Structures are given as C-alpha cells and as structure tokens.
Chains A and B, each alone.
Chain A
C-alpha cells in the first residue's frame, strides 16, 4: 500500500513550458485534491475531484488544468508555466465518508521552479 504518490519530486521549467504533475493513490479514495504551498500562505486549493469524471475549481485554479479518468489518478497540468507558479505542490486524497473524521492523506510534494 503506497498511499499517495507524486512525481516528479523536483522540476525546473522555463516560462511558457507546459508539464504534468502526476498523482496516484491506491486506497480507493473518492476525493482527491491539489494544493500549492507558498511561504506565509499555507496550503491553497487549486482543483479537486469527488470521483472519477468529476472535477471542480478551488481557490487558485488559474493556469492549471485537471482531469480524473480513473479513481486512482489525478494529474495536474500547467498549461504555460509562469514564475508565479513557483511553489510546492501537494496532492491529497480522502474517503468521501460524511460521518467519519477522515483526514486527508498527502503525497510527498513536488517542488516546482519556473525561471
């Protein structure tokens, strides 16, 4: 049981390049989300999904795209990288139980630098 995995761990991009951050979980969780972490700003929600085929925007969605074709995978695409997207990105998953105190399980994070 690997939990939540993210690749790559580090990435450097040039402005205007595109790339996909991969996220996978093997816990059969319905709910998955992407956050970015910036100094002094905590974790901010980019996009989330409540199940395969269903995605929605979070607090800071601009410049990012997601899809959820399977329960396991939830990739995050940067369409045209900008220096403002330099950040640490976390993928997280959780079961969709409404009556349980399920926490989110986090991946190890991806440190992205855009030059």
Chain B
C-alpha cells in the first residue's frame, strides 16, 4: 500500500513571508496524482493544488506552488506572501490509478501577524 508522510506536525510563518510544507510518499507506481488539501477550523476540506505525476512542470495556483521531485518521491507545498487566512491544517494526498486516496497525518500551519 502507498504511504504518505508529512514530517512536520506544526509550522509557523510570519504574515507576508514564505513557508514550505514537506510531503514524501512511497509507491511503486509510475502514474499517480498528488494533492494538497487545506482544512481550516471550519473542518471543511478544501483542495489547494493538484499535480499529475507524468507532468514535469510544477503546478501553481496563485500564491501556492509545489516542488514535485518524482525520483525523490517528494511533493512540497510553498505558500508565498502568507496571509492570516492561510492558517489551517494542510494534508498531502496521493491518488493511484485505481482511484484510491492516501493521506498524510497533516501539518498545522500558524500565521503570525
């Protein structure tokens, strides 16, 4: 089974600064998809960004970007110009071609005003 590891249980960043959240995964598949989800205190799971494994180009969505290193099985999330509304729990997720999802244990991000 695939495993997803988030080694940073908690992170903090000053408002307007940049922070990077780490994620590694273990798989023997070559075709898969990766996601970052945000969970604010409201508990709702919100998709932040997605990446197809066959694409070499790193995905970006406004202030959010990823550093996808397929050989290293690494998928980090960079948040630029951090805002107070970015404070949340962030989950890294792996989806295989069988449509099964695997989630990391999450990183709690605090944004300091």
Enumerate chain A interface residues (CB-CB to B < 8 A): 31, 33, 35, 40-45, 48, 50, 88, 90, 92, 94, 96, 98, 101, 103-104, 106, 108-109, 111
- 20 of the cross-chain contacts (CB-CB < 8 Å) are A33-B101, A42-B105, A43-B91, A44-B103, A45-B100, A45-B101, A50-B99, A90-B45, A92-B101, A96-B99, A98-B97, A101-B33, A101-B52, A103-B35, A103-B47, A104-B93, A104-B95, A104-B101, A109-B43, A109-B44
Binary contact track B62-104/A, C-beta < 8 Å → 1, others 0: 0000000000000000000000000000010101010111111
B58 to chain A: closest CB distance in Å? Answer: 14
DSSP majority for the B interface? strand
Contacts A43-B91, A50-B99, A101-B33 hold; do A108 and B105 have CB atoms under 8 A apart? no
Best-buried of A88, A90, A94, A101 by chain B (most CB within 10 Å) = A101
- Contact between chains at B45 and A106 (CB < 8 Å): yes
* Chain B residues positioned under 8 Å from A96 (CB to CB): 99
Considering the chains assembled together, what is the distance between the CA atoms of A44 and B47 in angstroms?
Answer: 18
Q: How many residues of B contact A (CB 8 A)?
A: 24
- Contact between chains at A94 and B91 (CB < 8 Å): no
Contact among A42, A88, A103 for B103, CB-based, below 8 A? A42
Considering the chains assembled together, what is the distance between the CA atoms of A109 and B105 in angstroms?
Answer: 17
Considering the chains assembled together, what is the distance between the CA atoms of A45 and B4 in angstroms?
Answer: 13
Closest 10 CB pairs of A and B: A106-B45, A42-B105, A43-B103, A42-B103, A109-B43, A101-B33, A103-B47, A101-B50, A31-B99, A101-B52
- Contact between chains at A42 and B91 (CB < 8 Å): yes
- Contact between chains at B44 and A40 (CB < 8 Å): no
Contacts A96-B99, A103-B50 hold; do A40 and B9 have CB atoms under 8 A apart? yes
A65 to chain B: closest CB distance in Å? Answer: 20
4 more contacts with CB within 8 A, not counting A33-B101, A88-B43, A103-B50, are: A101-B33, A101-B51, A103-B95, A106-B44
